[in-house]
Structure formats: structure tokens, C-alpha cells
Structure 1
């Protein structure tokens, strides 16, 4: 890294090779741990008791996801999953102030990523 100094500030210049090394280290192939809220996982459920619960425990979980986890060569591509595994997460929730219930929530861990056209993404 090269620092240029003028009378007002220091300007940092990052060499092309260092940028390319960083991009290559973060290419789209490996899912990264991502915090996902239980509310987001429940966005498509039809179970109103669960969807409108007062409290979830835990409030969020860590899943391995591809979105945003790597660089693709084209701006028309995005990093998306190519393989995944189903998980059933046991969570507790409060459906009324005096009663805690437990249930299993379906989620997906991405196990492999690939670059794909932005309009061809599957949501999991």
C-alpha cells in the first residue's frame, strides 16, 4: 500500500495486485456464516400462531449462505447457492404471555455457491 501525503490529508493507494488477490480470495464458491432472524425465516409461513408470536428464542440463528459471500466476474451475475442441506431448527416461542411452545422450523444451509445470472436466483 502506498500513502501519498498532501497538506490536507493522507491518500491511500491500494495496488491492483493486492485488490486482485483479495477478490480471488473471496470468489464465489464458499458460503459464509450469516445471522438470520427467526422472523425472516417465518416470512412465508401460514402458521399465524408462530408468525405473530410475542417472542422467539433464539431470536436469530447463524446459517451458511451464499448471498453476498463472494465476487463474480460479471456485474450481471450474483453469488447464489448450487447445493444446500435442509435443517430443522428447534425454537421456542411465546404465543401468549403465559405459555411457551416449542416447534421445529425448516431452514437451509448452503453448502456450495456459484455465480449465476441475477434473474435466475432461487430463494432458499
Structure 2
């Protein structure tokens, strides 16, 4: 079957929406470093709420990008890891995150210049 992401009906758009989310990108990148438990992810990814993290993990699991493994301990231990497809995707996520970090000074300067031009025009 052939898909066209430029088509409004393409189901790949929903997947792009899932993996294009900032929280999903951060979760995927963190899981590329090692399998991790929920609370460790929450501690590592500052600002994400428990509810949002839970939703992101469920979407990524449904899309086949992460695996959820339950260990029969007391209390139950749950660990998340990347699937092969998730590993393939995160090979591209890391460079994107690092690009954003490395270019923030130029991005902020461009934003300031843009805002200044808008306020001058007003």
C-alpha cells in the first residue's frame, strides 16, 4: 500500500502528530539511552505531567515505537524501552534535539528581530 503524507486522509499524519509532539520526542530520546521506568522518565523530563506522560507512552506503545514490560514485583514494576521501529526513529530524533540546543542563540536572535520588526510596523 502507498501512503502520501500530503493527503488529508493519510493515516501517517496521525503518527507524525504523535512523534512530532515535544514530549514524545523527549521520551523517545530518553528511551534511546536505556530502558526506563515511568517515574524515572518523569524525573528526567522536567515539566511533563503524570497525565501527559501516561498519554504519550500509550500513544507510542500503540504506534509500535515503545514496549511496555511489566515485572511481577511488589509493587508492580513497569519498564519502557524502544522497539526496533522506535530505535530506527530515534536515530533521527537525537540530531533534531541537538540541533535545537545548538541553534537556540540564533533562533532567539531571529525571534527578537522578527518581534522588533512587527512592533515597528504597528
Q: TM-score, normalised by structure 1?
A: 0.22
Name the structure with the higher strand share.
Answer: 1
Report the structure number with the largest CA radius of gyration: 1
The structure whose RCO (Cα within 8 Å, separation 6+) is larger is 1
